[in-house]
Amino acid sequence: MKYKITSNSILRKGIILYQIEALQTFGQVKCGEYGGYIENESNLSQEGNCWVHDNALVYNEAKISKNAQIRDDAEIFGNAQITDNAYVGISSKVYGNAIVRNNAIVHCSGEVYDNAEVSDDAKVSDGGRLYGNAKASGRMIVMRNWPAPAK
């Protein structure tokens, strides 16, 4: 096992979330380091270098796996899946049945929800939203008010 669930807890939307603690050093995580908060062990894989950092939250049926990194007040819930080398951080949210994978990035208050998918180096950033059945891949960048309105 690479981590354990501690007795440190917070309440989010009526759900008790527990802080995690690394039991070994892996990736950029040191043994004994405290991470973010998860509802239960099904939220964070014991395999790979995936980790929930800082004050990030993962709950409901959401799953973090492989080498995915969640940090900086990010919130992952519903049936969302964050996998491969994906990164979600800086107050972003991924929820519903959304998927973030293959080096994709969601940060700076980005939101991905419903059945949307971000993959293959795409980014959702700066308040951008991807939702419904939308897909962003390749070098696509989704931002709020992008492109900027003409003057």
In a domain, 148, yes or no: no
Residue closest to 29 by CA, chosen among 71, 63, 60, 58: 71
Does the predicted model carry a pTM greater than 0.85? yes
Tens digit of each residue's pLDDT (9 = 90 or more) over 28-77: 999 999 999 999 999 999 999 999 999 999 999 999 999 999 999 999 99
R_g (Cα) of the chain, nearest Å: 15
Nearest to 116 by CA among 106, 107, 126, 108: 106
Domain containing residue 36: CATH number: 2.160.10
The pLDDT value recorded for residue 147 is: 55
88 lies in some domain: yes
Distance, CA of 27 to CA of 16 (rounded, Å): 28
Count how many domains the chain has.
Answer: 1
**Domain span holding position 32:** 3-143
